[in-house]
Amino acid sequence: MTLIEEALRHTTDTKACVIGAGAVESAARMFRGLFPEARRAIVVEDPRTRAAAGTRVTELLRAAGVEPAEYVIEPGGGWFHAEYARVEEVRGAIAAASGAIPVAVGSGTINDLVKRASEELGLRYIVVGTAASMDGYTSYGAAITKDGMKQTLACKAPLGCLVDSAIAAAAPKEMVASGYADLLAKIPAGADWILADAIGAEAIHPLAWKLVQGPLRESLSNPAGAAAGDIAETEKLCSGLVMSAFAMQAMGSSRPASGTEHQVSHYWDMEDLAFDGRPVSHGFKVGIGTLISTKTIEFLLRQDLANLDVEAAVARWWPDFATVAATFPKVFGSRPAHIRRANEEYPKKFPTRDALRRELSAVKAMWPDLSARMRAQLMPFEEVRENLRKVGAPYEPEMIGVTRERFRETYRGVPYMRARYFSLDLVDRLGLLDQLIDELFGPGGVWEVRG
C-alpha cells in the first residue's frame, strides 16, 4: 500500500488523489468516478492556469461526455488574491451553471475560492493543481480575506485532487520556492509537537506524524533541483505538501503541519503584509517564520533544564491572566485586532503557578531524553537558511518587506496569539523570552536591530 493509499483510508473529505507527470490526463476519469451521475462541470481558472491545464481539462471532460463550462477569473493588475468578494464572484458563476460540478484549476488562491464557494452552495468539487506552492490543496478550510482580515473559513477539502508534476515544474519559480518553504516549516513544527506531546498539551497522532514526517526529508532533499524545474524533484515536493494536508484531515487539526513559524505568518496575515505592491505568499512568510522558530528551539536546547530551578521560574511567572493582559497594549501597540485575539486565545493556555510548577517539573525530569528527540528532529539554522536561498525563497525578513524592528515586535507578540502550545511558550514560561529576543535582535544577533 502506498502512502497516498494509506492516507486516503483515513481522510475525512478527499477520496481520490493522483500526483505525477501527466496526472492531468486523469481528470475526466477521476471526475466520472467521483460524480458518476453528473453531466455538467464548471472549470474555474485564471488566464495562466487555463493555458497550463484548464483547456486540456475542458477537452477531457467534453470527450468523456461531460458538458464543461468555463469561468476565467480575470486578475486585476496582473494578480489577485483570495478575498471574500472573489468568493462571491466564483459562487455566482457556479450557481449560474446550474447543476455543474466545480473543477478548480490552479494553485492556492483559486483552490481556496472554489473550496469556499462550493461549501456555501453545498457542493463538492475536485482540484487540478498547477503548482507546488503550498500545502492547502487537500486541507479543510480556506484562507480568505474577509472583513479586512485574513482568516480561515470552514469548508470541506476537495473530493478529488490531481497535481501534475510536469505542469507544476513549469510554474513560476517563486511558486515552487513558496511551496518548499511551506514544507520546510514542518521540521521545526515537528519539534514543537514533540514538546507539546511530552508535557501533555497535544498528543502526537501516529498516522498524521507518519504522513508528514515520513517523506519530509526526502521531499526537501534537493532545493536547487526543485528551483531548476526538475520534474522528479517537483513531484517529491508536491507529494510532501499533499501528505501534510492529508495528515490534517486525518487528525482534524492543523497541528501536524503548523508550529511557531505559522503563528509568525498569521500575525503578518492580520497586518496584510505586502511587498513591492503585492501580498506576500503564505510560504514566504512561513519560511521567515521557520528561521526564527529554528533559532527558538536551538536556544531552548542550549538550556540546562535537567537542573532547572522550578520554584524560581514559578516565582517569576505572572500571578494571573489579568496581569499579563494589562501588558497587551504595550506589546501590540495600535493593533486592536491583535489585542482582541490575544485576549481570546491566550487564556486558553495560560497556566496558573501550580500548573506551571507541574509542567516545568515534568520537563526537568524528561529533559535529557526530550531534548535529544527534539535535537534529532531539528535541521540546523544555517542549513535551513541555505536551503531557502537555494530554492529561491526569501531568507532575510527584509526580502518580504519586514524590517528587523517589525520582526522583533512580531516575535514578542506571537506567544499570545494562539491557544496551541509551542516551544516559544516554554521559553516564555522559563522567564527567558527577553534573553532570547536580546540574543536574536540585540548587538551581534542574527537580526541585529541597528540604531
Helix 206-213 to helix 186-198 angle (10° resolution) is: 160
Spatial strand order of the sheet with 40-45 comes to 16-20, 160-164, 126-129, 101-106, 40-45, 67-72
Strands (E), 46-183: 67-72, 101-106, 126-129, 142-146, 149-153, 160-164
Q: Residue 275 and residue 259: Cα distance in Å, rounded?
A: 24
pLDDT digits (tens, 9 = 90+) for 216-245: 999 999 999 999 999 999 999 999 999 999
Helix 282-301 to helix 433-441 angle (10° resolution) is: 120
pLDDT digits (tens, 9 = 90+) for 259-271: 999 999 999 989 9
Q: Residue 141 and residue 108: Cα distance in Å, rounded?
A: 12
Handedness of CA 346, 347, 349, 350 (dihedral sign): positive
Specify the fold of 3-171: Rossmann fold (3.40.50)
**CA-based nearest residue to 81, from 54, 110, 114:** 110
Give yes or no for a contact between 192 and 162, defined as CB atoms under 8 angstroms apart. Answer: no
Question: pLDDT tier at 401 (50, 70, 90 boundaries)?
Answer: very high
Cell numbers given for 443: 548587538
Q: What architecture is the 177-223+254-441 domain classified under in CATH?
A: Up-down Bundle (1.20)
Q: Residue 311 and residue 317: Cα distance in Å, rounded?
A: 10
Higher pLDDT among residues 451 and 333, named by residue: 333
Cell numbers given for 180: 518548499
Q: Residue 239 and residue 111: Cα distance in Å, rounded?
A: 17
Cell numbers given for 283: 510560504
Cell numbers given for 261: 513559524
Residue type, 169: A
For the chain, give the percent of residues with pLDDT over 70. 99
Question: pLDDT tier at 142 (50, 70, 90 boundaries)?
Answer: confident
Burial class (CB in 10 A: 0-12, 13-18, 19+), 99: exposed
- Provide the phi-psi class of 78: left if phi over 0, else alpha when psi is between -120 and 50, else beta: left
Average pLDDT over residues 135-155: 84
Question: φ, ψ for residue 143 (rounded to 5)?
Answer: -85, 105
Question: pLDDT tier at 78 (50, 70, 90 boundaries)?
Answer: low
pLDDT digits (tens, 9 = 90+) for 429-450: 999 999 999 999 999 999 999 8
Question: φ, ψ for residue 250 (rounded to 5)?
Answer: -60, -35
3-state secondary structure at position 380: coil
CA angle in degrees (0–180, nearest 5) for 79-161-77: 5
pLDDT digits (tens, 9 = 90+) for 185-216: 999 999 999 999 999 999 999 999 999 999 99
Do β-strands 278-279 and 274-275 pair in parallel, antiparallel, or remain unpaired?
A: antiparallel
Residue 77 pLDDT greater than 70, yes or no: no
Q: Residue 139 and residue 158: Cα distance in Å, rounded?
A: 8
Question: Any idea which residue has 495560560 for its cell?
Answer: 350
- Provide the phi-psi class of 350: left if phi over 0, else alpha when psi is between -120 and 50, else beta: beta
Cell numbers given for 26: 486523469
The answer to whether domain 3-171 and domain 177-223+254-441 are alike in fold is no
Residue 328 pLDDT greater than 90, yes or no: yes
The strand pairing partners of 72, in sequence order, are: 45
Question: φ, ψ for residue 106 (rounded to 5)?
Answer: 160, -155
Q: Residue 34 and residue 15: Cα distance in Å, rounded?
A: 8
Q: Hey, how many other C-beta atoms are within 10 angstroms of the C-beta on 447?
A: 20
Report domain extents, the chain.
3-171, 177-223+254-441
Question: Any idea which residue has 496526472 for its cell?
Answer: 23
